[in-house]
Amino acid sequence: MLFKRYYILLLLFFGTASAQYISTDDTRTPLQLIEDVLINSGCASVSNVSVSGGNFATGDTSYGYFNANGSSFTFPEGIILSTGKIIDARGPNYFISDDTAPGWTGDQDLNYALGISNSINATVLEFDFIPIGNQISFDYIFASEEYHGSATCTYSDGFAFLLKEVGTTNYQNLALIPNTAIPVKVTTVHPEILGGCPAQNEQYFDAFNGPEYPTNFNGQTKVLTARATVIPNTPYHIKLVIADEGNYRYDSAIFLRGGSFNLGLDLGDDRTLANRNPVCFDENLTLNATSVGAQSYQWNFNGSPIVGQTASTLTFNPPYSTTQNGIYAVAVTYSPTCTIVSDIELEFSPELQANQTSYNFCDTEGAQDGISTITLSDITPTLFTNLPATFQVNYFSSITSTTPLSNLFTLTTPFQQIIYVRIANNNCYNNIPVTLNIQVFTDTILDETLGICNNDPTILTADSGYPSYLWNTGETSPSIQVTMPDTYTVTIGNNDGCTKVKTFTVVGSEIATITDIIINDFNDNNSIEIIAIGNGDYEYSIDGVHYQSSTIFYNLSKLEYTAYVKDKNRCGIATHVFYLLQIPKYFTPNGDGFNETWNIRNLSERGFNQTIISVFDRYGKLLKQFSGNSTGWDGTYNGKNLLADDYWFSISNQGKELFRGHFTLKR
């Protein structure tokens, strides 16, 4: 607790801060504390009041009166019972309160109630009383120095509010977590402690306190109410006790709200949606405040008298409305100085008006088998015409199922299934059947890709024969005209209201421009590659009939071809004539008039207009030179016929050699 010691030094150094803290007073007698502070009512019949606590040499007490003193503390005033000096319970929260005193023992009744054996430093306030009504209650806050760090998970002082009929031996502990048998302690009421332990009954924990808090305790619970059913006009004994457990370190305290000890009537549990027990729309309800010795009754609603309702009972009959929701109280007067007010909160459930219990959905999944996934929360707003916003709707597979269906529910039977609606936070309603119908769209709808030539208008036509169309352009006709490349979708609806989406991918296109024909014709296997550019999707041909996606063609034997480049999107065909060179592999100068000379054809068509062809024998001797546009070589040298043999040649154009090869002279 170095934190607190550090701040007490700051307080001594800088002076008292301006924040307000509670005040305490130990001068009041035990009877005054009970009659004037805790009960503060002319209805009390109290006797045998006693108190015990620490015997401090300073004269301080461990019990007494407290006042909020203008601070933010929850209770304006009341009684404080502590395991230390009540003067040390005052804020600020700067130092450790861990007082003790000589001979300050524990309490056996507390030990028994909490199942412990080592209580010490017990402070006890007890008295007898006679209830007029059939219920007692009072409000309290438990605060402790043991609300700090991981100690919160392990250590706790103990306290109990022990009640029994006078003359009996068994006590009933009223200081319990609501609707449980768990005693209220540090270890049973706290949030999650990081690195320590998970939260325990966190909804009843108030806060860990900083230095400038009205009390000198590290934390406390929210306001809790101790409550018990009693027999009217029967003597009871109550023992309010708090003690340290194990050792005197780290004090704790109980703060009892002044005037909260109610000796009234039990009108029953609150009937609210939060408690899952509202008054049902078809239920008759009677609140009964009949009490022996009562002189008069006055029923009130939300703090105002209900005109004419002065009987001991108040009856409610359907139909109800939400305007009746609120706090109903009865003031029972026993004498001019004794009036007891008891109340109950009532909320009335409306009779739900069914709006729709059968729903049609489309199978949005690929199989179109009548099995689909439904978002159940989409149904809820249309189930009833008057569903309160606070009602929690759950869906179940059968009337006996206790496990709610997932919000994303996949049908288990095709095309139709009945599920059941239940109001989860209200027990007034039976299962309501809801029919889920699954419609299908079994027709096949295929996407399309097409081109648009130079932004010329083109028509997109969806599959015909359906009652509805909705394009992403906003148009609702089966066909639309477009002029720009883009992605267009149309939602097609069938007679069951189910839809499929067809996508048109419209790509921009244009006729190609052939920029080059790359010719490889100096090989045995002549080939060409067509080079074309343009914004289109093209295919290629060299006969205008057979097209291919490849731009390369092999095994070409003709001298002249036409290249065709066709746009697949019907934007046109580009053409280009090209020529291949023909290099004869042999010639036969034998005087028969056929194949008498050797030459290379199409040189000028290929643009080789300054071509020189040189012929050599196998030894490299130059035999003949001639231009590409001449008639060629006749197989003679110096006027004499050369022998049949292989001869070599070279082709040069403008002085640059293009190719070398050989051919055969046959006789």
The DSSP secondary-structure symbol of 466 reads -
Neighbouring CB atoms inside 10 A of 423's CB total 22
Percent of the chain predicted with pLDDT > 70: 97
Which of 277-281, 578-582, 603-607, 647-651 has the weakest average pLDDT?
A: 603-607
**pLDDT at 609 (0 to 100):** 83
Q: Confidence class of residue 579 from pLDDT cuts 50, 70 and 90?
A: very high
Angle of CA points 515, 516, 518, to nearest 5°:
160
- The tens digit of pLDDT for each residue in 625-639 reads 999 888 999 999 999
With a cut of 70, say whether residue 566 has pLDDT above it.
yes
pTM for this predicted structure:
0.59
The tokens describing 395, both together, are: 């869906």
Q: What is the Cα–Cα distance from 438 to 432, expressed in whole angstroms?
A: 20
The tokens describing 165, both together, are: 């009929």
**pLDDT at 14 (0 to 100):** 38
Instruction: Tell me the HSE value of 449 on the side-chain side, using a 13 A CA sphere.
Output: 7
Q: What is the Cα–Cα distance from 647 to 362, expressed in whole angstroms?
A: 83
Cα dihedral across residues 178, 183, 186, 191: positive or negative: negative
> Residues of 566-578 as b/e, b for ≥16 C-beta within 10 angstroms?
bbbbebbbbebeb
| Contacts made by residues 98-101, CB under 8 angstroms, sequence distance 24+ | 98/145, 98/248, 98/249, 98/250, 98/251, 99/54, 99/56, 99/62, 99/248, 99/251, 100/54, 100/248, 101/54, 101/55, 101/56, 101/57
The dihedral region occupied by 134, where left means phi > 0, alpha psi between -120 and 50, and beta the remainder, is: alpha
Q: What is the Cα–Cα distance from 24 to 518, expressed in whole angstroms?
A: 108
Nearest Cα to Cα of residue 241 among 140, 138, 123, 156: 123
Query: Residue written as tokens 């006055």?
Result: 298
Are 98 and 257 in contact by the 8 Å Cβ rule? The answer is no
**pLDDT at 271 (0 to 100):** 93
- The tens digit of pLDDT for each residue in 172-227 reads 999 999 999 999 999 999 999 998 999 999 999 999 999 999 999 999 999 999 99
With a cut of 50, say whether residue 307 has pLDDT above it.
yes
**pLDDT at 517 (0 to 100):** 95
Q: What is the Cα–Cα distance from 566 to 576, expressed in whole angstroms?
A: 12
The tokens describing 522, both together, are: 């100096």
Q: What is the Cα–Cα distance from 451 to 486, expressed in whole angstroms?
A: 10
Are 144 and 218 in contact by the 8 Å Cβ rule? The answer is yes
Nearest Cα to Cα of residue 472 among 495, 443, 503: 503
- The tens digit of pLDDT for each residue in 78-119 reads 999 999 999 999 999 988 888 999 999 999 999 999 999 999
Which of the two residues, 408 and 525, has the higher pLDDT score? 408
**pLDDT at 5 (0 to 100):** 40
- The tens digit of pLDDT for each residue in 4-44 reads 444 444 444 333 444 599 999 999 999 999 999 999 888 88
Nearest Cα to Cα of residue 376 among 355, 397, 354: 397
Nearest Cα to Cα of residue 395 among 408, 385, 413: 408
What stretches of 198-295 adopt beta strand conformation (E)? 205-208, 219-221, 224-229, 236-245, 252-257, 285-288
Q: Look at residue 330 and give its three-state secondary structure.
A: strand
The DSSP secondary-structure symbol of 176 reads B
| Calculated CA dihedral for residues 502, 503, 508, 514, nearest 10 degrees | -90
Q: Confidence class of residue 569 from pLDDT cuts 50, 70 and 90?
A: confident
Q: What is the Cα–Cα distance from 583 to 560, expressed in whole angstroms?
A: 14
Query: Residue written as tokens 């280009």?
Result: 576
The DSSP secondary-structure symbol of 66 reads E
Report helix, strand and coil shares of the chain as percent, to nearest 5.
10, 40, 50
With a cut of 90, say whether residue 422 has pLDDT above it.
yes
Are 62 and 84 in contact by the 8 Å Cβ rule? The answer is yes
Nearest Cα to Cα of residue 215 among 167, 162, 175, 254: 254
Q: What is the Cα–Cα distance from 102 to 342, expressed in whole angstroms?
A: 44
**pLDDT at 18 (0 to 100):** 41
Cα-to-chain-centroid distance, residue 559: 74
**pLDDT at 19 (0 to 100):** 58
- The tens digit of pLDDT for each residue in 329-374 reads 999 999 998 999 899 999 999 999 989 999 999 998 878 899 999 9
Q: What is the Cα–Cα distance from 423 to 406, expressed in whole angstroms?
A: 15
Strands of the 468-471 sheet, one edge to the other: 448-453, 499-509, 486-493, 468-471
Nearest Cα to Cα of residue 599 among 589, 607, 591, 590: 589
Instruction: Tell me the HSE value of 306 on the side-chain side, using a 13 A CA sphere.
Output: 20
Are 160 and 182 in contact by the 8 Å Cβ rule? The answer is no
Q: Which contiguous run of DSSP H or E holds residue 8?
A: helix 2-14
Are 379 and 436 in contact by the 8 Å Cβ rule? The answer is no
Q: Look at residue 314 and give its three-state secondary structure.
A: strand
The tokens describing 630, both together, are: 């001449």
With a cut of 50, say whether residue 318 has pLDDT above it.
yes
| Calculated CA dihedral for residues 411, 412, 415, 420, nearest 10 degrees | -60
Q: What value does the mean pLDDT take over residues 420-444?
A: 93
| Calculated CA dihedral for residues 5, 7, 13, 19, nearest 10 degrees | -140
Are 573 and 597 in contact by the 8 Å Cβ rule? The answer is no
Q: Confidence class of residue 605 from pLDDT cuts 50, 70 and 90?
A: confident
Q: What value does the mean pLDDT take over residues 133-156?
A: 94
